[in-house]
């Protein structure tokens, strides 16, 4: 304190640091960013994909082991007794892992998916490595009879779903290839090539599905997060600005008046620190209401001026106590006048009407609908000329910016135009304000079949078909050729169309050509080969059925498959075809049809529900965010003001000191609200002390007075210069008065400080 006889306000050095903390009032941008950092990343799409993978692979794995693989009997037998061999132990583990993934899909938590996929995939991989190790080291493996290669794609798909980046793809290709090579113990050679090629072309669609699905769902989640974040930012800024305005109203009405009263001796300083807290009441959060009757009457009178010939249908009477938020009233009036003047301009001879419909509940206005219709020439909304498009932009834009308001425009050439403006008190739901419209990709994109069903792949598949066919002896070159041509036609047809669903005509071609292929190949068949594929054509049949099922033609695929089973059975029974290839033997080779049917179906179902799921997630998250933002703002601001008052008026200070403190605090609060750019701890401290010495200080921030600019201007390096200049000037003892001003944008000067001291008046200019 300075040594004078007069009582002095407390020097800043005797007050706590937080007394000079920047006010949270004007820092909506910071608050908003802080709230954003806690934003939970959207994972709806990824979770949906995980569920598909969990059910699709889990169920298929179990079905494969129990029914479809070469080792089904061994697998089922392993459960009759406790596991007493390496293979039995592996069966048990596989079963538990597959069941766990299916159960995990019911729990539907990201962590559960992650761990079940990781554990299941690695359990398989471990078994596979042990098997490989035995083969390499001893030449034989106790796990050979497990035929691990039969279902290698399923646990590998689980691993791919959780392994980072593209690591899963090479891992899957290598694992599947090696598994295919060693699966049946075939000596290395041509048949190994066939086994590997077959395993890869069978599994690649599933792997692509997983990998692409993962990329797409992750991109989708990112897009959803961005859209949501932007929407939340807008909503929060709007909320904060409104809250801020209201809060400042309270600070003005309560706090500043109170402090002024204390300073002037009208009010005794509070005797307890708790009294200060009573200053900050709850802040209301709704717009000022205006009388509905008055709003309607003004709308009618102004509509009459804009469109004198229009027919207005207005309710006979409305309850006098019914009100409408003032901002809604203003927006609706604007939109009404704009719509009317547009109608008058573009449909001058049309009959124009405007119907007002008020929704009331127990005397309160809960909704208002204005329908403006004309029977004029109308316009094509898609091809609207600029001026007509302007209606949409002007009216819709304004309406959308107002809580609870909605607008729709219906117009067709020759059929007039109907504009509906509405407001509902249910108003601002989080869903509406998010506006987070997310384009959910088509199933085709999500599944990634576009990457698989390409001409090059059809050629590759045909080459594999030919390769497989070469493993058997043939009785008729003609029948073989016909079989291969039919299979090639089917493969070529399967890559047609731009949608996931194979076009009907190509489906028909496939359904005709595949049984034809099957019959020709069966009639041509002479005898089984010693190595896999013992009989080539059932494997081709299964592949073609799988591809058709993946192209969203599951029913046709199963039908085609059944027809071929009947053909096989008939030929086997009649002796025209090989007896080894009957319906049952073909059926046991076909288990892969199950995931081929299940997975695309599930993807389709999931993507259908995705927009709703994402919108729901976004609404819930936004609502939570807004409440959190409001609480955070009010909490911070109220705490800040209360803490300032409590510290300045601390009862341990002398009454006269408190009185002076009240005055300095009043000025400090004014500054922090009126001139936020000057609200830095250093400036605040210097100003407090200088005012305590009797220096007259005026801080004018005319740059951030427009609230929406307050968040960008504070990063200007010139701000630091004027703040520092101010601190330096105020440190001088002979200063009498200082007026510092930060100019509005677009001026040649950034800021000035006019200083009067014992030697005269001079000016600091920051350009």
Partner 1 sequence: MNINVVAVDDHEVALIGLTHMLRESDGCELVGVYHSVLEVVARVGDASQPPVDVVLLDLRLSDGSDPFINATAIQKAGANVLVYSSLESPFFVRRALHAGVAGILEKSASTGELVEAIKLAASGQTYATPDWAGIIDSDPLLSAVQLSPRQREVLELYAMGESAKRVATLTGLAADTVQDYLGRIRTKYALAGRPANTKIDLFRRAQEDGFVPGPMEK
295 near partner 1, judged by CB under 8 A: yes
Q: Give me the residue label for tokens 């690591």.
A: 167
Q: How far apart are CA 388 and CA 391, in angstroms?
A: 5
Q: Which of 266, 393, 731, 767 binds partner 1 (CB under 8 A)?
A: 266
Q: How many residues bind partner 1 (CB under 8 A)?
A: 59
Part in contact with partner 1 (CB under 8 A); list of ranges 81-89, 145-153, 246-254, 313-321: 246-254
Q: Is 284 in the site for partner 1 (CB under 8 A)?
A: yes
**CA dist 431 to 238, 392, 396, 615, Å?**
15, 22, 18, 7
Among 145, 242, 406, 580, binds partner 1 (CB under 8 A): 242
Q: Kindly report the number of other CB atoms within 10 A of residue 399's CB atom.
A: 21
Write down the least CB distance from residue 697 to partner 1, Å: 10
Tell me which of 18, 33, 230, 253 binds partner 1, using CB under 8 A.
Answer: 253
In the complex with partner 1, the residue whose CB is nearer, 280 or 521, is 280
- In 3D space, the residue among 495, 492, 580 whose CA is nearest the CA of residue 536 turns out to be 580
CA–CA gap between residue 224 and residue 439 (Å, rounded): 9
Query: Could you tell me whether strands 696-701 and 735-742 are parallel, antiparallel, or unpaired per DSSP bridges?
Result: parallel
450 part of the interface to partner 1, by CB under 8 A: no
Assess 705 for contact with partner 1 (CB under 8 A). yes
Report the residue from 64, 250, 525, 633 that binds partner 1 according to the rule CB under 8 A: 250
| Least distance from partner 1 to the Cβ atom of residue 761, Å | 6
Least distance to partner 1 from the beta carbon of 629, Å? 17
* Closer residue to partner 1 (CB): 22 or 707: 707
CA distances from 42 to 140, 209, 218, 235, 500 (A): 49, 21, 9, 18, 26
Q: Please, are residues 510 and 491 in contact by the beta-carbon 8 Å criterion? A: no
CB of 415 to partner 1, least distance (A): 33
Min separation Cβ 623 and partner 1, Å: 22
Q: How far is CA 764 from CA 689, 705, 722, 732, 756, in A?
A: 21, 22, 9, 15, 11
Cβ proximity to partner 1: between 247 and 506 the closer is 247
- CB-nearer residue toward partner 1: 208 or 700: 700
Under a CB-based contact definition with an 8 Å cutoff, are residues 534 and 581 in contact? no
**The only residue of 329, 502, 519, 722 in contact with partner 1, by rule CB under 8 A:** 329
Q: Is 359 an interacting residue with respect to partner 1 (CB under 8 A)?
A: no
725 belongs to the binding site for partner 1 (CB under 8 A): no
Whole-angstrom distance, CA of residue 181 vs CA of residue 45: 36
Sole binder of partner 1 in the list 254, 474, 601, 718 (CB under 8 A): 254
Q: Looking at 285-293, 378-386, 501-509, 556-564, which segment touches partner 1 (CB under 8 A)?
A: 285-293
DSSP for 343-411, written as a single string: HHHH-TTS-EEEEEEEEEETTEEEEEEEEEEE-S----STT--HHHHHHIIIIIHHHHTSTTEEEEEEE
* Nearest CB to partner 1, comparing residues 553 and 668: 668
Binding mask 632-671 for partner 1 (x = CB under 8 A): -------------------------------x--xx--x-
Report the distance separating Cα 329 and Cα 294, nearest Å: 10
Q: Spell out, one character per residue from 726 to 755, where the chain touches partner 1: x when CB under 8 A holds, - when not.
A: -----------xxxxx-xx-------xxx-
Instruction: Look up residue 164 and give its DSSP letter.
Output: S
Q: Does residue number 708 form part of the binding site for partner 1 (CB under 8 A)?
A: yes
- Per DSSP, what are the bridge partners of residue 372? 354, 419
Cβ-in-10-Å burial (0-12, 13-18, 19+) of 434 comes to: buried
Chain residues binding partner 1 by CB under 8 A are 241-242, 245-250, 252-254, 256-258, 260-261, 263-267, 284, 287-288, 290, 294-295, 298, 326-327, 329-330, 333-334, 663, 666-667, 670, 673-674, 698, 700, 702, 705-708, 737-741, 743-744, 752-754, 761, 763
């Amino acid at each position: 304190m300075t040594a004078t006889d007069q009582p002095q306000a407390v020097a800043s050095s005797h007050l706590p640091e937080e007394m000079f903390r920047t006010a949270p009032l004007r820092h909506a941008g910071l608050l908003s960013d802080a709230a954003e950092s806690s934003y939970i990343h959207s994972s709806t799409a990824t979770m949906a994909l995980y569920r598909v993978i969990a059910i699709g692979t889990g169920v298929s794995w179990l079905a494969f082991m129990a029914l479809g693989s070469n080792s089904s009997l061994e697998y089922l037998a392993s459960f009759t007794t406790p596991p007493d061999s390496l293979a039995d132990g592996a069966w048990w583990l596989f079963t538990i892992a597959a069941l766990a993934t299916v159960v995990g899909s019911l729990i539907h938590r990201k962590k559960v998916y992650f761990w079940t996929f990781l554990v299941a995939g690695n359990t398989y991989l471990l078994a596979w490595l042990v098997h490989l190790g035995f083969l390499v080291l001893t030449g034989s493996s106790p796990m050979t009879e497990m035929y691990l290669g039969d279902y290698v794609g399923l646990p590998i798909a689980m691993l791919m779903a959780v392994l980072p980046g593209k690591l899963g793809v090479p891992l899957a290709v290598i694992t599947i290839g090696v598994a295919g090579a060693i699966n049946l113990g075939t000596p290395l050679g041509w048949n190994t090539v066939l086994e590997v090629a077959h395993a890869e072309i069978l599994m690649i669609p599933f792997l692509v599905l997983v990998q692409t699905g993962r990329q797409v769902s992750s991109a989708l989640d990112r897009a959803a997060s961005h859209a949501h974040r932007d929407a939340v930012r807008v909503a929060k800024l709007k909320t904060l600005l409104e809250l801020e305005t209201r809060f400042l109203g309270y600070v003005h009405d309560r706090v500043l008046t109170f402090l002024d009263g204390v300073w002037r001796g009208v009010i005794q300083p509070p005797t307890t620190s708790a009294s200060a807290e009573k200053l900050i009441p709850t802040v209301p959060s709704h717009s000022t209401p205006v009388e509905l009757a008055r709003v309607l009457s003004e709308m009618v009178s102004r509509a009459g001026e804009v469109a004198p010939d229009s027919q207005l249908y207005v309710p006979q009477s409305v309850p006098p106590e019914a009100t409408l938020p003032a901002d809604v009233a203003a927006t609706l009036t604007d939109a009404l006048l704009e719509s009317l003047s547009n109608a008058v301009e573009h449909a001058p001879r049309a009959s124009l009407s405007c119907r007002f419909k008020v929704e009331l509940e127990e005397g309160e206005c809960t909704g208002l609908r204005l329908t403006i219709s004309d029977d004029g020439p109308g316009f094509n909304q898609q091809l609207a000329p600029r001026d007509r498009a302007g209606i949409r932009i002007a009216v819709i834009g304004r309406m959308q910016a107002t809580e609870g308001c909605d607008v729709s425009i219906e117009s067709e050439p020759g059929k007039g135009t109907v504009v509906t403006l509405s407001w509902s008190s249910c108003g601002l739901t989080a869903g509406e304000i998010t506006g987070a419209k997310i384009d959910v990709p088509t199933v085709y994109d999500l599944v990634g079949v576009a990457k698989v069903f390409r001409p090059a792949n059809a050629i590759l598949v045909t080459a594999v078909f030919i390769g497989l066919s070469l493993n058997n002896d043939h009785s008729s070159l003609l029948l073989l050729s016909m079989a291969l041509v039919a299979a090639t036609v089917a493969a070529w047809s399967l890559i047609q169309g731009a949608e996931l669903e194979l076009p009907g005509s190509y489906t028909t071609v496939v359904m005709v050509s595949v049984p034809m292929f099957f019959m020709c190949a069966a009639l041509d068949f002479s005898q089984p080969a010693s190595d896999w594929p013992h009989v080539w054509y059932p494997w081709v049949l299964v592949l073609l059925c799988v591809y058709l099922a993946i192209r969203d033609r599951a029913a046709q695929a199963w039908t085609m498959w059944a027809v071929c089973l009947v053909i096989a059975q008939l030929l086997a029974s009649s002796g025209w075809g090989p007896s080894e290839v009957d319906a049952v033997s073909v059926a046991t080779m076909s288990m892969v049809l199950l995931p081929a049917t299940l997975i695309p179906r599930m993807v389709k179902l999931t993507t259908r529900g995705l927009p709703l799921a994402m919108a729901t997630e976004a609404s819930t998250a936004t609502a939570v965010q807004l409440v959190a933002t409001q609480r955070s703002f009010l909490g911070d601001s109220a705490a800040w003001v209360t803490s300032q008052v409590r510290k300045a008026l601390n009862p341990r200070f002398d009454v006269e000191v408190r009185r002076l403190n009240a005055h300095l605090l009043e000025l400090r609060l004014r500054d922090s609200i009126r001139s936020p750019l000057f609200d830095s701890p250093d400036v605040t401290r210097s100003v407090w002390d200088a005012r305590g010495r009797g220096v007259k200080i005026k801080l004018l921030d005319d740059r951030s007075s427009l609230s929406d600019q307050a968040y960008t201007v504070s990063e200007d390096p010139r701000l630091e210069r004027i703040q520092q200049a101010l601190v330096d000037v105020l440190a001088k003892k002979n200063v009498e008065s200082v007026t510092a001003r930060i100019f509005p944008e677009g001026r040649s000067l950034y800021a000035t400080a006019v200083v009067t001291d014992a030697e005269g008046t001079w000016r600091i200019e920051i350009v």
